[in-house]
Amino acid sequence: MAKRYWLMKSEPDAYGWDDLVKEGEGTWDGVRNHKAANNLRSMEKGDQVFFYHSNIGREIVGIAEISVSGIADPSDPDQKWAAVKLKPVRLLARPVTLKEIKACDALADMELVRLSRLSVSEISPDEWNKILSISEA
DNA sequence: GCCAACGTTGGC
DNA sequence: GCCAACGTTGGC
């Protein structure tokens, strides 16, 4: 399957970009929302992920890549929920804030904006490239 | 199976 | 700290 793009949110207090870099590889578990879990199940090794900091910063800070997909959530005793592992790729040239995303017509109906509580959402290649171009502008 | 009440998340 | 959006729960 073609490479896909995702956006994952985390509160930096709980698990931020710095933690991911420190560990080298992070497990994305603890997701207890069906829509988000479906997205996790759709991910494949090599997919690219924007790492978004919610609450503190409210900005996309870096790019990560799925390193292991389709595993069971280790924090779930029933092993019903999905999880993936991901590795940091690089920081963005500069963070792209939620404000900038909302201000951009091409990005205004991203799931991030429409469903602010969804912790894992899919991003179209166009949206991905647009965000990259904002960060490098 | 419907719907109101409640809890949680996250932006402001 | 407040409020809106959404998911879940529980009564019927």
A121 touches strand B (CB under 7 A): no
- Protein-covered nucleotides on strand C (Cβ within 7 A): 5-8
Judge whether residue A98 contacts strand B, using its CB and a 7 Å cut-off: yes
Burial A39-66 (b: 16+ CB within 10 A, else e): bbebbeeebbbbbbbbeebebbbbbbbb
CA distance A75 to A7: 21
Give A133 CA → C8 C1' in Å. 39
Q: What is the pLDDT along chain A (137 residues), one digit of tens a residue?
A: 678 999 999 999 899 999 999 999 999 998 988 889 989 999 999 999 999 999 999 999 999 999 999 999 988 888 888 999 999 999 999 999 999 999 999 999 899 998 888 999 999 999 999 999 999 98
For residues A86 and A43, the answer to whether their CB atoms sit within 8 Å is: no
User: In this structure, what are the phi and psi dihedrals at residue A41, rounded to the nearest 5 degrees?
Assistant: -70, -25
Q: How far apart are CA A79 and CA A83, in angstroms?
A: 10
Distance A116 CA to C7 C1' (A): 13
Find which nucleotide's C1' atom is closest to A117's CA.
B9
Nearest nt to A115, CA vs C1'? C5
Domains of chain A plus CATH, in order, are 5-136 (3.10.590.10)
Q: Which of A47, A46, A28 is nearest to A37 (CA)?
A: A28
